[in-house]
């Protein structure tokens, strides 16, 4: 057993633990409130004063995935008795389901665009970061700053030219267009973060590989990449979170085909004004993939971030 002078005492650990847990509990309340709202009935969701204890229902989820119409008696007769549990929920409100909602499509669009742009961003970003880290790229510092500066532009400011440009190229409201756009926006963050990670990998490893007869590309591929994996994973999380949740470009540049979920969720309307349970259900489901992705890569996230253990 080794004893380290830097190991905090048990008292310190308890103190730190209690504070962190307290913060975590407070910070999670709004999130739990969203999840709970998804399981409320429309009346409970806006109840005055707010209710903490309520009878859970899947109505919000049914409303999220279906379009409903307020039914006249004729229509109810014509439709016959409800066949499924979700139809039954709709009928209780005097509505009939007229078809699936667009949420499924929007969600799928988010998956394609979010994960697609993250993958592309990692490929381009790792390559560029490696080059900036290892080679004498002309005007390196200026280029790096240029890359960062592209992130400073408010999306609204460039939305008009991008809109016009995309239309000319036929990229408007397409998955490819949005993937390219999000990749470009994310590249600055990823090049910066990845360069930091790659800087920390000792050059000696590659030198050894080069001496062993590897080409430069092989050295990058077989030596650097595996060592940078944790850094890449944690960078990927940040990129995914951004691309997954982006709103301003999505609301201005997409509509029918490639619209993602964020512009869609806050405005889900039911048969009587805003449908808060459905909005909350939509937000909850939308959170799941990123949450799973992050929890799966949790070790990488924390280890990746500790990468710079040896600094020069």
296 binds another protein (CB under 8 A): no
Stretch near another protein under the rule CB under 8 A, chosen from 54-62, 82-90, 222-230, 274-282: 274-282
Nearer to another protein, 19 or 56 (CB): 19
d(CA 49, CA 66): 29
Q: Which residue is associated with the tokens 């400011």?
A: 157
112 binds another protein (CB under 8 A): no
d(CA 308, CA 312): 9
3-class SS at 122? helix
Nearer to another protein, 56 or 305 (CB): 305
Rounded least distance, CB 136 to another protein, Å: 5
Stretch near another protein under the rule CB under 8 A, chosen from 53-61, 77-85, 221-229, 259-267: 259-267
Angle, to 10 degrees, between the axis of helix 175-199 and the axis of helix 140-149? Answer: 130
100 binds another protein (CB under 8 A): no
Rounded least distance, CB 112 to another protein, Å: 17
d(CA 196, CA 207): 19
181 binds another protein (CB under 8 A): yes
78 binds another protein (CB under 8 A): no
Q: Which of residues 52-71 bind another protein (CB under 8 A)?
A: 67-70
3-class SS at 269? strand
Q: What are the Cα distances from residue 266, in Å, to 261, 269, 277, 287?
A: 9, 9, 11, 14
Stretch near another protein under the rule CB under 8 A, chosen from 54-62, 79-87, 94-102, 222-230: 94-102
Stretch near another protein under the rule CB under 8 A, chosen from 56-64, 78-86, 157-165, 221-229: 157-165
Q: Which residue is associated with the tokens 């080679």?
A: 135
d(CA 250, CA 114): 12
Cα radius of gyration (the chain): 25
Nearer to another protein, 81 or 310 (CB): 310
Count of chain residues binding another protein (CB under 8 A): 137
Q: Which candidate, 309, 219, 301, 277, places its Cα nearest to that of 61?
A: 277
258 binds another protein (CB under 8 A): no
Q: Which residue is associated with the tokens 């005492």?
A: 9
d(CA 294, CA 234): 9
Q: Which of residues 20-49 bind another protein (CB under 8 A)?
A: 20-21, 23-24, 27-31, 33-34, 37, 43, 46-49
Instruction: Pick the binder of another protein from 112, 119, 176, 180 (CB under 8 A).
Output: 180
Instruction: Pick the binder of another protein from 90, 116, 206, 224 (CB under 8 A).
Output: 206
108 binds another protein (CB under 8 A): no
Stretch near another protein under the rule CB under 8 A, chosen from 53-61, 81-89, 221-229, 261-269: 261-269
Rounded least distance, CB 84 to another protein, Å: 19
3-class SS at 274? strand
Rounded least distance, CB 220 to another protein, Å: 8
Q: Which candidate, 298, 308, 116, 115, places its Cα nearest to that of 194?
A: 308
First to last CA, the chain: 30
Contact criterion met (CB below 8 Å) for 66 and 94: no
Instruction: Pick the binder of another protein from 270, 278, 281, 300 (CB under 8 A).
Output: 270
Instruction: Pick the binder of another protein from 90, 191, 224, 236 (CB under 8 A).
Output: 191
């Amino acid at each position: 057993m080794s004893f380290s002078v830097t190991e905090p005492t048990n008292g310190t650990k308890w103190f730190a633990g209690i504070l962190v847990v307290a913060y975590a509990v407070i910070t999670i309340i709004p999130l739990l409130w969203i999840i709970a709202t998804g399981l409320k009935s429309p009346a409970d969701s806006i109840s005055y004063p707010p209710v903490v204890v309520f009878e859970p229902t899947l109505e919000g989820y049914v409303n999220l995935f279906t379009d409903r119409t307020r039914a006249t008696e004729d229509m109810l007769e014509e439709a016959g008795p409800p066949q499924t549990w979700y139809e039954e929920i709709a009928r209780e409100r005097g509505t009939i389901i007229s078809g699936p909602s667009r949420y499924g499509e929007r969600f799928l669009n988010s998956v394609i665009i979010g994960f697609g742009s993250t993958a592309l961003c990692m490929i381009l970003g790792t390559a560029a970061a490696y080059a900036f880290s290892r080679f004498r790229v002309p005007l390196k510092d200026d280029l790096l700053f240029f890359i960062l500066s592209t992130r400073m532009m408010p999306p609204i400011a460039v939305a008009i030219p991008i809109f016009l440009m995309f239309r000319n190229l036929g990229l408007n409201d397409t998955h490819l267009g949005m993937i390219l756009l999000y990749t470009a926006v994310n590249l600055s963050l990823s090049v910066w973060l990845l360069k930091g990670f790659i800087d920390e990998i000792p050059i000696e490893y590659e030198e050894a590989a080069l001496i062993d007869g590897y080409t430069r590309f092989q050295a990058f591929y077989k030596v650097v990449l595996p060592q940078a994996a944790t850094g890449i994973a944690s960078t990927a999380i940040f990129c995914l979170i951004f691309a997954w949740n982006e709103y301003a470009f999505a609301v201005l540049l997409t509509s029918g085909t490639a619209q993602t979920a964020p512009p869609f969720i806050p405005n889900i309307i039911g048969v009587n004004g805003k449908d808060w349970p459905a909005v909350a259900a939509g937000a909850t489901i939308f959170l799941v993939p990123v949450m799973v992705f992050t929890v799966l890569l949790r070790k990488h996230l924390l280890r990746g971030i500790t990468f710079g253990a040896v600094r020069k």
